[in-house]
A = this chain, B = another copy of it.
C-alpha cells in the first residue's frame, strides 16, 4: 500500500425526509444563494421542502445551471452573491449544480480573475464560502468530494479544479427525490459511478486489501441494484443503495494509497467536446476498449475483478480476461448505454483526430503507468469503432 492522507469532513444526512436537516445545518442568520438547474425541483416537491426548511432565512434563488455547468452562467450567480452579500451557497440538484456551487463558493471571495481558479486547477483558492448540497441525481460523487468540472463554452474549454476548501459542509441524500428522474439520467449516473471505481481500481495490485474490496463492493452493488433501479425507479431500497454506492465511488476512500488511471475520462471528455455525447456514454464506449488494449499491464486486476465481481473462475487467464471485459461491456449495455462509436454515428476518423488533439495539447503519457500515448489513444478508439 502506498502512503496516503485521507480526509473527508462532509456530514451526510441520508434517507427519507432528510431535507428538513437544512433547518439545523444552516445558521439562522445565513444569507443563502440557492443554486439550481432546469426547474424540475419546482414540480417534484423538492423546492417546496427546501423552502420550508429555510424558513425565514434570506435566500436568493438562481436557476439555470446547465449540464456541464458553464463559467459565464456561474459568474452571474457570483455577481448576485457579491451584490446581495450572501454568505452560504446551497446546491439543489445533481452533480452539475454541486460542481457549480463549488465554483461559486470559491469565486465569490476571490479577488483576481475567477478563471484562474480553473487554470490553476484550484491552487489559487485560499478561501471559499461554506456550501451545502441537496442531491437529486446520483452519479458524480460531487456531494462529498473536493472536485468540480466547469465548462467555458465561449472559449471551448472544460477544466477541473480541486481544493479541500470546497468540501460541502453537509450533503442531503434523500433517494425519494430521485424517483422522478428520466431513465436516461439514472442509467448515466450508475455508469458514471461504476466507471469512477474502474478508474481507481483497474490498475495494478499494491496489497491494498481494504481499498480493493471496498471498490469491488461498490461495483457489486451497482451491478446488482443499478439495472433494477433503472427499471423500477420507485423501489426505495434499490435506489438508496445506488445513491450511497455512487457517493463511495468517488469520496476518496477507494483511491487512497493506490495507483489511479483516469485515461477513460480524459479520452471521453474529448468525445463529449467533439460530438456532444453524454459523459457517461463516452465512458461506456472507451472503457471496454481501453481494458482490451491495456489488458497486459492490467492483467492481475482484471483477473481479480472477474472473479470477485463477476464470479469468473474457469478457463485460461486470457479467456477469463476476455470474459471480464465482455461482462463490463454487457453491464453498460444492460443499463441502456451503447458501447460502440457507431452507435452514436461517430466515424472511425475520430480516433486519429482525438489522438492528434491530445498530442497537440501535450496531454501524453497518462494512465497509471504513464504509458497511454497518443498512439495508444488511437488504438483504443479504433477498437471502439
A245 touches B13 (CB 8 A): no
At the interface, yes or no: A68 with Cβ under 8 Å from chain B?
A: no
At the interface, yes or no: A316 with Cβ under 8 Å from chain B?
A: no
* The residue from B11, B15, B224, B241 contacting A3, defined by CB atoms under 8 A apart: B15
**Stretch from A81-89, A205-213, A350-358 that touches the partner:** A205-213
Count how many chain A residues have C-beta atoms less than 8 Å from C-beta atoms of the other chain: 40
At the interface, yes or no: A248 with Cβ under 8 Å from chain B?
A: yes
Contact bitstring A330-364, B, C-beta under 8 A = 1, else 0: 00000000000000000000000000000000000
> A213-B221, A214-B217 are known contacts. Are A11 and B1 too (CB-CB below 8 A)?
no
At the interface, yes or no: A109 with Cβ under 8 Å from chain B?
A: no
A248 to B225 Cα, complex, angstroms: 24
A216: chain B residues at CB < 8 Å are: 217
A245 to B209 Cα, complex, angstroms: 9
B3 touches A210 (CB 8 A): no
Chain B nearest CB, measured from A28 CB (Å): 19
B210 touches A217 (CB 8 A): yes
A220: chain B residues at CB < 8 Å are: 209, 213
A208: chain B residues at CB < 8 Å are: 241
Contact bitstring A231-248, B, C-beta under 8 A = 1, else 0: 000000100110011001
B7 touches A12 (CB 8 A): yes
At the interface, yes or no: A2 with Cβ under 8 Å from chain B?
A: yes
A residues touching B (Cβ–Cβ < 8 Å)? 1-18, 21, 207-210, 213-214, 216-218, 220-221, 224-225, 237, 240-241, 244-245, 248, 256-257
